[in-house]
Structure formats: C-alpha cells, structure tokens
Chains A and B, each alone.
Chain A
Amino acid sequence: MFLLRKEFRHIRRNTFIARAIIAVPIIQMLVLVPAVTFEVKRIDLAVIDSDHSRASRELVAKLSGSSFFAVAATPQSVREAESMLFAGNADMVLVIPSDFSEGLAGLTRPRLQVLVDAVNSTSAQLAWTYLNSVVRDFNRDVLLSGGSPPGQAGGMIMSSGSMPGLSVLPHYWYNPTLNYKYFMLPGILVILITAIGLLMSGLNLVREKESGTIEQINVTPVMKWELIASKIIPFFIIGLFDLALGLSIGWLAFHIPFEGSLLLFFACAMIFLVAVLGMALFLSTMASTQQQFLFVSYFVMMIFILMSGIFTPVESMPVWAQQFNWVNPVAYLMRINRMIMLKGSGFHDIAMDVGLLSLLATSLLTLAIRAYRKRA
C-alpha cells in the first residue's frame, strides 16, 4: 500500500532513526543487561575485633575468604568504623565483642554487632543475608568440632537463622545459579519494544500534525482506518524486528536459555505491540506538539515499566499497585516473557495472561480509533 511505502520511506530517509532502530537494541542489551543487576559483588567490610582470639580471627578469615566480602579496614573503635561507613569506605561493620571466644566455649552469650550501610536497601539486605550465612556456617563448624552445647551456641551468635545442625540448601528452580542476567533480560526486551512502539509511532503521528501534513491527507479520500494502519504497521514490524535482534544478542552474548516456544513468545509480543501502539495512537490524539507527546508518554512509560515488576516483584507491591497492573500491558508481557524464556511455559500456563493482554490490546486500540477523529 502506498501509504505504507511512504512511511518506510520516511524512516529510511531519516538516517538517524534508521540507525537507531539497529543500534538501540544492541546497546540496550549489551549495556543494560550486565549493568542493571542486583548481585552484590564485593562488600567492603570493616571489622572491629575486640577479642583478638583464634576464634575471632577464624571468623574474619572465613568472611574474607568468601567471594562477597573484602575486609577493607580494621578500625579500633566503633566511632571510627561509623565514620568509615559514613564516608562510604565501608559497606558494613562487624563488631566482634571481647567475650566472643568465651561465648563460643559456652560461658557467656556474646552478641555480634553488625552495622550496614542501608542507603541501598536491596544491597544491604543481600549483604546481611550473605553475612548471616557465613556466620551460620561458622557456627556449625564450631558445633561440629564439639565446642559447646548446641542450643546455646546457636542462640549466641545469631538470633536468626535455622536450627543448628540443620542446614537449608535452597535449590533455585528455573534459574539455578540465581543469574541476575537471566531475570533481567526478558524484562529489558519488554522495555525495548515498549519504547519503540510507544515513542516512535506516537511521535510520527504528532509530527504530521505539527507540520500540517495531516490536514493535507485529511482532505483526500483516504479512509480513517487506512491512515491508522499506515501509522501502526511499520512500527509493529520494527518492534518485532528489534525484539528478534535483542533476543539474538541475549543469546549470543549472554547465552540466555530459551526454554519455551519461540512462536508463542513472538505471538505474545505481537499482542503486546498492538496494545502499545493503540496507547501511542491514543496519546497522540491528545497532543498537538511532539513536545507534549514526549512528556506525557515518557511519564506513562515510566509508570508502566516501573510498576510492571521488572525490578521489584509485583507481589511485594501494595494492593492498589497490583490492581493497577490489570491494565498495565507491560506487566503482562514482563510475566509472560519470563515464564516462556526461563520456565518454558506453554500456552496453557499463560493462557490467562495472554487472554487479558489481548482484551487490553483490543480495548486500547478501539479507544484510540474512537479518539482519533479524522474529522473535527
């Protein structure tokens, strides 16, 4: 169709856009996937050892022996340690009391004090968990070597944790090594096609409004649906192309496993693109300049992406936020992508999400077409 040919011509002519279509997925995948990770690689630990015993040195050695901790300093006082924490030279402070080794022998009940820089609550949580597991491990070693009565020793060092002698060996399904990249990659693919679908198509329409060319088209016998189709189809194709490109990069660069059906994956992406393009069309009917459109859609996109559960699990959001996700197409595809890619879910497993997403896509597109009045 000639309207489509014209759209592709516009895209080809605009060398910047044409290049961006290729470059954006590559950059996004290669930069964001490894960068946006919650894995805490190195925690700088400051240790105040008031005990100076063999046992305390063993604990410190055990901590620095783990790949997560590095003993960055050994300050003399809590005060000094606090200032290091404050200056950012240490992420965590461990205070070993002077009665530590006595406690291990079961004579007193000493307490390890831990100060964590919790500006980033996620990494603080992780650091705490790591420390906990190392200390628990240490405890068990002490118990096994028959140092003290079990109950006492367990309660002594850490108040939390499991019963001594019983260790929990978690086995993480679907992502056995807890590789954060595997978790992020499907999500970043969703961001990629959201941005392309929403911004590129919407801006294209608003640009025609801004330059007045839409008026010129409107006085011709071109039908409403023809014009809308010519605005949606190119970006639908580009969205799928970029998705395929992004996925290939994920596969080549990060060896992301793909458990499920590729066909189902792309089918869901198509439904999602219809929803996003419908939204772009709707927003573009409300805006009369590209600036207005960009501002509104950026805002909408932010909300949709941040609430979709890309970083934080939806289940831990407040109830109203979870309810909001009923109308958030990004949340559906986020879930669907992860299920298909990591879990290998078949259509049966995600039927509910696919159904709701389709419903959402249809209603968004209908809404957009209604809002898009060719006349007046």
Chain B
Amino acid sequence: MKAVEANSITQRFGKITAVDDITFAVSEGELFGFIGPDGAGKTTLFRIAATLIIPSGGRMTLFGLNVVSDYRELRNHIGYMPGRFSLYQDLTVEENLQFYATIFGTTIRENYHLIEPIYKQIEPFRERRAGNLSGGMKQKLALSCALIHKPRILILDEPTTGVDAVSRTEFWEMLEGLKKEGITIVVSTPYMDEALRCDRIALIQQGRLMGIDTPEAIRTSYGRKMWAVSHPDRYRLLLALREIQIVSNPEPFGEAVHITLHEGTAPEDLNRKLENTGIHGATIKETLPGIEDVFLELMRRKPEEKSL
C-alpha cells in the first residue's frame, strides 16, 4: 500500500487554479520532497493531504484512506506542521506538548522515545512560553508536537523557512532519524540544497507538476553537458557570457557561472571568445547539473511546450 496516492488533484480558488491536475504517489517510509518557488501550490496541496481543505477535483488517499471521506480516521495518523508557527504562544513548551498529547489520547511518556532526540534539545526551556523561543527552537517544538501521537505520516510545509543554517542542517538530520523509525515524510522546501536529502523530489511550478524523480536522476536528466565557468571578476564574466553566441542560459551558481554550450562547440572555443572580450584565465570545468539548473531549464522550457 502506498503512503500517499494522489490522482489528478485540482484546487481552484475562484478564477485561480492553485493546484492543477497533480498526480503522484509516495511509498511508505519514503522521504518525499516538493520543490518549487513561493506560490507554486505546495501549501495548498499539503492542506488537502492534511484533510484541511476539500479538493475541487481529483482523489487523494493516505494509506488507502480517502482524505475527504475518511478524514476522521485519517487524522489519527497525520502529523502536520504548517509553514507558519501555529502553537500557542502563551502556553509553555511543556503545556503545548502536553496539550497535543492529550488531544490524541496519549501521553508524553508513551511516545517519548520518538521525540526524545528533538525534544531533549528544548527540554531545558520547558517552562518557557512558546512565544519566547527562538526560530529554531520553535521549529523543534512544532515537530515534537506533530510527532507526539506517533503519526504514520508527517506532512511538513516549508519547515526550515526562516530558520538559521545550523538549525536547518540539524532539522534534516532529525528527519532522517524519523525516516529510520519508519515514518513517511512529505516535506516542501524552497531550498534546492535540501532537495538532495530527499529520496525523491517533485518539482512544482504554478500548480503544475514538472517532474518527479530521485535527485540524482533529475540532475542527470538535464541531457546536456554543463560547464562551470569561473573567474575572479564574476560580474564581468557573467556579462560577457550573456553576449557570447555559443553560450546558452548562463546562470550564476555559487562561485561559478553554469552554462551549456551550443552543439559542436568546445570549451576551447569559449575560452577564445572570452579572451577576445578581455577576460583572461577563466577556468572552464565540466560539472554535474544542480537541481536549480534542472528547475530553471524546466521553467524555460515550459512556455515552449505550451505553444506546441
């Protein structure tokens, strides 16, 4: 049985179609990521999965239970963490956790082993009001609260947005720990580097699914050789690359600029052209495309597909 099965899920708000005919499946125990820019429809999709809204069209089941008709039963198995911190700010850390434990008819002690690695870090502050926690600690508390009833699936909507880099890394380590416990995790993120930590990722843009695969497969699906060009004066390099005919889609990526070359041209041709514009000593290396590259390429390709 699949943990999630979505069939042609569509959600319209008036004239806007937030989620447009999305079909995907998540296996049990999988760490599945949704990658896409703001407004791509990730939150709407997650809210449908969390039984919070009824989709305008399509069908979704979690562990064979329909999100619309079996929501009552399903709610016992879902741990949902919305993008915005939604715990009671005027209750203490412990009271929040206690409250969610009681709602699900369980106790903190019963499932303590599950939250221990996470909760231990905020336990020293258990008398503190949730509103006075730092961003990273809030995130840990929210995850603890979402886990306290031992859900079979965790639905995490942009859990690391607005959290510092260290806490983000910690957070993903926790998710990997939870995966080992056999919990299915569906997570969304705008950060491409986090996508690499997922078993599989789905690229979503303007409510449409643009591809689902493992991060590796997505990177190799790029199809063309990708070159990383670097030079101390990165800005001048970028401007120059934009002018050179045989270069397509230059995108700054860290220290370098990622490019593809027109067919039949070699890096040596590029180097010559760069020298002509006064850029000497640029290094050109072959590189594996990042998720960003694929994503940006897919975004570029989309309008063309439409016109066909």
Task: Show the binding face of A for B, using Cβ within 8 Å.
Answer: 2-3, 6, 9-10, 13-14, 211-213, 215-222, 375-376
- Secondary structure at the B interface, as helix, strand, loop or mixed, is loop
Cβ contact within 8 Å between A6 and B53: no
Cβ-based interface call for B75 (8 A) = yes
Q: How many residues of B contact A (CB 8 A)?
A: 28
* CB atoms of B71 and A375 under 8 A apart: yes
A211 pairs with B51, CB closer than 8 A = no
Q: A212-B82, A215-B82 are in contact. Are A221 and B72 (CB under 8 A)?
A: yes
Chain B, residues 30-53, CB within 8 Å of chain A (1/0): the string is 000000000000000000001111
- Cβ contact within 8 Å between B100 and A9: no
Q: Are A219 and B80 in contact (CB under 8 A)?
A: yes
- Complexed CA–CA distance, A216 and B75 (Å): 11
Query: Could you say which residues of chain A place their CB within 8 Å of the CB of B75?
Result: 219-221
- Could you jot down 11 A-B contacts, CB within 8 Å? A6-B99, A10-B88, A13-B91, A13-B129, A212-B84, A213-B87, A213-B88, A219-B78, A220-B75, A222-B103, A375-B53
Provide the bound-state CA to CA distance between A219 and B84, in Å: 15
Beyond contacts A6-B91, A218-B51, A221-B104: 8 other A-B pairs, Cβ-Cβ < 8 A, are A213-B86, A215-B86, A216-B82, A219-B75, A219-B80, A221-B72, A221-B75, A375-B53
Contacts of A213 in B (CB 8 A): 86-88
Closest to A376 in B: B54
Smallest Cβ-Cβ distance to B104: which chain A residue? A220
A216-B86, A219-B75, A221-B104 as given contacts; A376 in contact with B80, CB under 8 Å: no
Chain B residues with Cβ below 8 Å from A3 are 103
B71 to chain A minimum Cβ distance, whole angstroms, is 7
Q: Which residues of chain A have C-beta atoms less than 8 A from B82's C-beta?
A: 212, 215-216
Tell me how far the C-beta of A208 lies from the nearest C-beta in chain B, rounded to whole angstroms. 9
Give residues of chain B (139-182) contacting chain A, Cβ–Cβ below 8 Å: 145
In the complex, what distance in Å separates the CA atom of A216 from the CA atom of B54?
16
> Which A residue sits closest to B103, measured CB to CB?
A220
Q: What's the A-B contact tally at a CB cutoff of 8 Å? A: 63
Asked whether B103 lies within 8 Å of A9 as measured between CB atoms, the reply is no
Instruction: Mark B75-118 against chain A: 1 for CB-CB distance below 8 A, else 0.
Output: 11010101011111111000100011011100000000000000
Distance between A305 CB and nearest chain B CB, rounded to angstroms:
31
Complex CA–CA separation, A375 to B99 (angstroms): 21
Which of B80, B89, B102, B129 lies in contact with A216, CB distance below 8 A? B80
- Once the chains bind, are A216 and B76 in contact (CB under 8 Å)? no
For the complex, give the distance between the alpha carbons of A14 and B84 in Å. 22
B89–A211 CB distance below 8 A: yes
Q: Across the interface, which residues of A come within 8 angstroms of B87, CB to CB?
A: 213, 216
Nearest CB of chain A from residue B117's CB, rounded to whole Å: 22
In the bound assembly, the distance between CA atoms of A212 and B87 in angstroms comes to: 8
Nearest-CB distance from A129 to chain B (Å)?
56
Cβ distance A280 to chain B, nearest Cβ, rounded Å: 20
Please name all residues of chain A whose beta carbon is closer than 8 Å to the beta carbon of B99 when the two chains form the complex.
Answer: 2, 6
Docked Cα-Cα span, A10 to B95, in Å, equals 11
For B91, what are the chain A residues with a Cβ–Cβ distance below 8 Å?
Answer: 6, 9-10, 13
Asked if A217 meets B90 with Cβ closer than 8 Å, knowing A375-B54, A375-B71, A376-B53, the reply is: no
Contacts A375-B52, A375-B54: A6 and B88 contacting too (C-beta < 8 A)? yes
| 9 tightest Cβ-Cβ pairs between the two chains A and B | A212-B86, A2-B102, A219-B80, A13-B90, A216-B86, A220-B103, A221-B75, A376-B54, A212-B84
Name A10's closest neighbour in chain B (CB-CB): B90
Residues of chain A within 8 A (CB-CB) of B104 are 220-221
Distance to closest chain B CB from A199 (angstroms): 18
Are A215's CB and B52's CB within 8 A?
Answer: yes
Task: Find chain A residues with CB under 8 A from B72 CB.
Answer: 221
Are A219's CB and B51's CB within 8 A? yes
Once bound together, how far apart are the Cα atoms of A219 and B155, in whole Å? 11
How far is the CB of A14 from the nearest CB of chain B, in Å?
Answer: 7
Q: Which residues of A contact B85 (CB under 8 A)?
A: 212
With CB as the reference atom, state the residue of chain A lying closest to B95: A9
Q: Smallest Cβ distance from B89 to chain A, in angstroms?
A: 7
CA distance A21 to B95 in the complex (A): 24
Inter-chain contacts of B90 with A (CB < 8 A) = 10, 13-14
Closest B residue to A217 by beta carbon equals: B103
Find out whether the CB atom of B103 lies under 8 angstroms from the CB atom of A218: no
Assembled-state Cα–Cα distance A14/B90 (Å): 8
The answer to whether B103 and A221 touch across the interface, beta carbons within 8 angstroms, is yes
* Residue among A10, A217, A222, A375 with most chain B CB within 10 A: A375
Closest A residue to B88 by beta carbon equals A213
Q: State the CA gap A376–B91 with chains docked (Å).
A: 27
CB neighbours (8 Å) of B50 from chain A are: 219
> How many Å lie between the Cα of A220 and that of B82 in the bound state?
13
Output the nearest chain A residue to B101 by Cβ-Cβ distance.
A2
Whole-angstrom distance between the alpha carbons of A221 and B54 in the complex?
A: 17
Tell me, in angstroms, the Cα distance from A13 to B103 when the chains sit together: 21
From A10, A14, A215, residue with most partner B Cβ within 10 Å: A215
Complex Cα gap A180–B95 (Å):
50
- In Å, the complex CA distance between A337 and B103 comes to 40
Question: Could you tell me the distance between the alpha carbons of A14 and B89 in the complex, rounded to whole angstroms?
Answer: 11
* Chain A residues with CB below 8 A from B52, complex form: 215, 218-219, 375-376
Alpha-carbon separation in the docked complex, A218 to B82 (Å): 12
With both chains docked as a complex, state the minimum distance between the C-beta of B63 and any C-beta of chain A, in angstroms. 15
Instruction: Output the least CB separation between A6 and chain B (Å).
Output: 6
Alpha-carbon distance A219/B49, docked complex (angstroms):
10
Nearest residue, chain B, Cβ from A216: B86
Closest to A211 in B: B86
